[in-house]
Each structure stands twice: as structure tokens, then as C-alpha cells.
Chain A
């Protein structure tokens, strides 16, 4: 079974600065997907960014980018130019590429991001 670990329960960042969230995972599979989800106080789960393991290029979405290190099984999220609206819980998640297994996600425990004005 796959496991996802987020070792930082909470991170604090100054507005306009950069923060990096860590995520490591354990799997015996060679092909899979990785995701970062944002959960603001509204509780809604919002997809921030996704990465396909067979793609070496790191995914980027505006101010959000990832550092995907497949050999190290590491998938960190960088938030640049942090804004007050970035304050939320962030979850790293893993999905097998085995379509027969269904669209099942394995989540990490989450990292709370605080943004200081």
C-alpha cells in the first residue's frame, strides 16, 4: 500500500515571500499521479497542481510550482509571492495509474500555511 507523509504540520510565511511544503511518498509502482490540494476554512477541497510521474518536467500553475524528485520519492510545493488568500491546509495526495483500481487517492496528513501581512 502507498503512504504519503507531510512532515511539516504548520508553516508560516510573510506576505509576498516564498514558502515550500514538503511531501514524501512510498510506492512500488513506477507510474502514478501526485497532487496538491488546498483546503481553506470553507472546507472545500481545491486542486492546486498535479504531476504525472512519467513526466520529468515539474508542473507549474501560476504562483504554484512543484519539485518532483522521483528517485527520492519527494514532491514539494512552492508557493511564490504568497498572498493572504493562500492561508489554508495543504494536502499532498497520491493516485495509482492503475485504472482498474478506480480513482482512489491516498492523502498525507496536511500542512497548515499561515500568511502574515
Chain B
């Protein structure tokens, strides 16, 4: 099993550009989520989904959009990138009744 796959691993953007971070899991997990990691602040929840067609905001949702059209995929969209969105992004998933998350390898995004 591939687990949770994130692409790309590294990306450099200019301010105002748009992009999508991809997240796919092959474990049939109902729950998927996106976190960002900034120095000294741990990981903070951006958006999450408890199943296909259902998404909700986390702690820091501004500037990000998500959708969940399939169980496997949960893309994170930046419509107009800002330097404040420079961070490492993690996708994570789990079964709904489980309390252990499986994390992807992370995507490092730099916005100039």
C-alpha cells in the first residue's frame, strides 16, 4: 500500500499565483485533513473532511479551498498565494472511528 501520497514535495510560487497540493490515500479512509507546519507553532489544521462531499474548516482556513469528490482524494487549493503561506503542508487520513492519523510525507511550499 502507498498510504498517503502528497504531490508535489517541493514548490516555489510567486505572490498571486495559484496552485493545488494533491493528496491521495489508498486505505479507504473516510477522514482526511490538511495541516500546515510553521517553526515553533507545531501543526495547525487548515481543512478537514469526514467523507466524500463533506468538508469543514479547521483553525487556519483563510486563503485555502478544498473539495472532496472521491474518498481517495483531498486536494488543497491556493487561489492567490501569499508569502504568509510559505510553510510545510501535511495531509493526513484515518478511518472515522480510529484515533490514529496516517500522515503524508509533506510538501514544502515557498511563496516569493
Mark A residues whose CB is within 8 Å of B.
4, 6, 9, 33, 42-45, 47, 50, 91, 93, 95, 99, 102-110
Contacts and interface: CB of A to CB of B under 8 A. Distances in A.
Nearest to A110: B42
A103 B103 contact: no
Contacts of B96: 99, 102-103
B42 A4 contact: yes
Interface of B: 31, 33, 35, 40-45, 48, 50, 56, 58, 88, 90, 92, 94, 96-101, 103, 105-106
Nearest to A100: B50
A110 B43 CA distance: 9
**Nearest 7 pairs of A and B residues by beta carbon:** A107-B42, A45-B103, A43-B106, A107-B43, A103-B31, A103-B94, A109-B42
A42 B18 CA distance: 27
B112 to A, nearest CB: 21
Contacts of A109: 40-42
A47 B42 contact: no
A33 B44 CA distance: 17
Contacts of A47: 100-101
Interface centre among A50, A102, A105, A108 (most CB of B within 10 A): A102
29 contacts: A4-B42, A6-B42, A43-B106, A44-B103, A44-B105, A45-B43, A45-B90, A45-B92, A45-B103, A47-B100, A47-B101, A50-B100, A91-B42, A91-B43, A95-B99, A99-B96, A102-B48, A102-B50, A102-B56, A102-B96, A103-B31, A103-B96, A104-B45, A105-B43, A106-B45, A107-B42, A109-B40, A109-B41, A110-B40
